Amino acid sequence: MLHYVDDHIGRLPSIGLTGRRQAAGTDFEPVVRDALVETFFVDYAAAIARAGGIPLLLSMECDPVAVVEQLDGLVLSGGADVDPRRYGATPGPHASGLEPRRDEFELAVLDAAWARGIPVLGICRGTQLINVGRGGTLVPHLPNDSGEAHSFLGYPRHHRAHPVDLIEGSIPHELFGPRITVNSLHHQAVAEPGTGLVVAGRAPDGVVEAIQAVDAPVVGVQWHPEMLDGTDPLFGWLIDNARLRNTTTTARKQEENVVNA
């Protein structure tokens, strides 16, 4: 008799989503205002769901390796600056809201996902974290008058502020073609790409806007695709690769079970 592993073939991919931790604050009753909450912008979860995945908020109380074993994909979301000390710099006057605990957790989750071949999409801070995690460095601050409108200048979050030229042969180029116009809410950027990473797109002023891994399904972009209308191809790429990995893993488990039956 053959024994197969039931791994829910055809199920929707489970996509881990990182967020931030902060005090509850004045929106809550006084008795719990100093309690910690973990939050994320719903735009991320909605984009994952539209693309066909199940968004799962990853609490920093999770064991990074154990939780990644339950995932088919990972989104590293935007937020505060990565601590400059992690790439050999010191916090400058423009460093905003450093979250060392978040850095530690997300870097561990990223390492675990990379080791397991789980597809990763980094967005804004998430892109910078991917780069720092592989030994790369960051531009600590892009002034408002640095060239393109990279930082938030008062327009709606879905406003497409400037173009990005995508490198031929890169994953973003395959998804969008040679040029895309994007929204822009960042004041930092990749400086020197980390080990195993390459630049996949730049703004006309030369600022790095997209990176990807050479030998892993890992992509990072500085813009916020989750805030744009419709189903974004980047989330489609993530879900497609999550499904592919899930199908491949399930088939391999079944083959192993047959051999051991």
What residues are annotated to the active site?
124, 224, 226
Bridge partners, residue 139, by sequence: 189
Secondary-structure breakdown of the chain: helix, strand, coil percentages, each rounded to the nearest 5:
35, 20, 45
In sequence order, the 6+-apart residues with CB closer than 8 A to the CB of 239 are 13, 15, 48, 51, 52, 53, 73
Bridge partners, residue 22, by sequence: 37
Distances (CA, A) of 26 to 31, 32, 136, 251: 10, 9, 38, 50
Bridge partners, residue 122, by sequence: 76, 220
In sequence order, the 6+-apart residues with CB closer than 8 A to the CB of 256 are none
- Give which of 207, 139, 223 is closest to 175, Cα–Cα: 223
In the block, residue with structure tokens 């979250």: 99
Characterise 230 by phi-psi region: left (phi > 0), alpha (psi -120 to 50), beta (else): left
What tokens does 148 get? 């393109």
Using an 8 Å Cβ cutoff, are 144 and 125 in contact? no
